[in-house]
Structure 1
């Protein structure tokens, strides 16, 4: 056998768990002595050896079923499942569409792995695959597990990955009981100091605020006494905009005839009291944001003001942003 034939016939090593990079956690590292992508850089048992040379170009989807002692692991890209992207790259769409629901189950099984970095990569992969319509119902089955992860593990990278997945899925009604249980955790993530996680948490809460059966649970959720610091002008514009959208939806929801038909009671440290209570300083925050440098924040602050002042049956128009500050005399 000539040397060229001998090289082509040589079996290639299979990928190993070292192919999953350890997530860089805020304020810390992954496993002791390791850095993200370290296994791939060493080469031994890593992605560069384990995957076919065709992965040197655009990211593709592949699987290895020869991993010792564990199920198949999915890869998107050369060194990780999905490097925090919003969707599958164009080159991977057709290959991902050829997958089956059983394959989705294999990715979901990695959410039970003991290593947080593996959980994060599996969440990223499910997020990418959720963009394919035929997989959404199967991915929805993992919603409760994802909610459990983000409410029991304090890891900002995991929070971002899990919340991005949830924000990309239509959450079915059977998930609502679990959502009620994790509401305090979502509020804690919102009041953390990690912007990416805060933005994803507020987007999910804004969506849930439009559900009649969840609105009270959100409004009665406990918050810190300095909750309105999230509406300071020094906050990033992206976060301010999302919080203002959230406040507008809460204001509209609490003024709806359906919600007003019940006499609700709120705790002293609830979100309702922080935003709409007698001692709330929300009016001052909104007036300061009307002159914010970013136009989107200005407009959204005006929309919140209008929602607080207009009757529930009045449709809010963009031109209604021209309001007098006298509406908010004495913080009313």
Structure 2
């Protein structure tokens, strides 16, 4: 291809990608493709990011900027190449935002995985910059909506759970990690990998803010829906008192999820395979704190039956019914 043809192609691609988060980097990368080593900072002069988890945009006029969903496979490949080779934090952060937005569109899930994108993005979970770490978690979160992608993401679960435990309370890194683990816990496939992190998750129910509590409870509800996780949950060390979760004054979304968590465990405790293991629970375990005295838990939950919310009543009934058995 002649230099003039190369410039024409690059200009066409630039027009196509304008506003999607690849912009000038595509032109520079294509025009300078004959060079073996190109600085990520020189290539990525500008990345336009959209909100994480953005929905597919409405129809746009011919002159409107295109969305991240319009990126073609070679654009994504080039971004991943730059991400894997660049050591410039601002470049890495901007590319992660673009890849995260692109991964909000299911059509890109397989494309990014096939370009080894999950391993490239996952490699940044060890980065010292919280913004880059959160950006990697957010991108993996969108990619985790694909079950095949989850098979690769699970290799990073230990790192993700460690970040949740060790990150600043209620920080974006912690919340991004929790959102990702919510998706990874929807199926039973990776629950066993989460066993050791249950105590730290229970701790977040007491220390975390509203958003942290909601995401933590989503994970715990998913785990409690798996009967094979019941013993691990009940045996886990828990805060001294979790009954505050069943107060009628607490946020309704938190209350519903807390009741669902308790009801799932109550139902599973009635399974025959659980009976012989209750005596092994320590005094600081979730079982001892919440279920050792069924009358105490019933006393906290029974008043909730008077609330008008039908879902609260349903979950409270489930819990009380099983506690009486």
The two structures share one fold, judged by TM-score above 0.5:
yes
Instruction: Check if 1:99 corresponds to 2:99.
Output: no
- Cα distance in 1 for partners of 2:293, 2:110 equals 54
Structure 1 equivalent of residue 67 of structure 2: 58
Q: Deviations over 1:284-319 (max 9, x none)?
A: 221111112322112211111112124xxxxxxxxx
Structure 1 equivalent of residue 55 of structure 2: none
286, 291, 294: which is aligned to 2:306?
A: 291
Task: Tell me, yes or no, if the aligned pair for 1:290 and 1:301 is still in contact at 8 Å.
Answer: yes
Secondary structure at the counterpart of residue 279 of structure 2: coil
Cα distance change of structure 1 residues 263 and 76 upon mapping to structure 2, 3 Å threshold? same
- Cα distance in 1 for partners of 2:311, 2:201 equals 25
- Cα distance in 2 for partners of 1:226, 1:73 equals 42
Task: Tell me, yes or no, if the aligned pair for 2:100 and 2:138 is still in contact at 8 Å.
Answer: yes
219, 239, 244: which is aligned to 2:259?
A: 244
Task: Tell me, yes or no, if the aligned pair for 1:164 and 1:200 is still in contact at 8 Å.
Answer: yes
Name the TM-score, length of structure 1 as normaliser: 0.68
Q: Once the 2 structures are TM-superposed, how far is the Cα of residue 82 of structure 1 from its aligned partner? A: 4.2
- Cα distance in 1 for partners of 2:257, 2:48 equals 40
Task: Tell me, yes or no, if the aligned pair for 2:80 and 2:117 is still in contact at 8 Å.
Answer: no
Cα distance change of structure 1 residues 55 and 282 upon mapping to structure 2, 3 Å threshold? farther
242, 267, 282: which is aligned to 1:227?
A: 242
Structure 1 equivalent of residue 155 of structure 2: 141
Q: Counting helix residues as a fraction of each chain, which structure ranks higher?
A: 2
Task: Tell me, yes or no, if the aligned pair for 1:123 and 1:161 is still in contact at 8 Å.
Answer: yes
Name the TM-score, length of structure 2 as normaliser: 0.69
Structure 1 equivalent of residue 53 of structure 2: none
Paired residues for 1:1-332 under 5 Å: 8=11, 14=25, 46-48=46-48, 56-60=65-69, 62=76, 63=79, 65-66=81-82, 68-69=86-87, 73=92, 82=100, 89=104, 92-101=105-114, 102-156=116-170, 157-169=172-184, 170=187, 172=189, 176=192, 178-278=193-293, 281-310=296-325
Report the count of equivalent residues: 266
Task: Tell me, yes or no, if the aligned pair for 1:14 and 1:64 is still in contact at 8 Å.
Answer: no
Q: Deviations over 1:235-277 (max 9, x none)?
A: 1111111111110111112221011134523232322122222
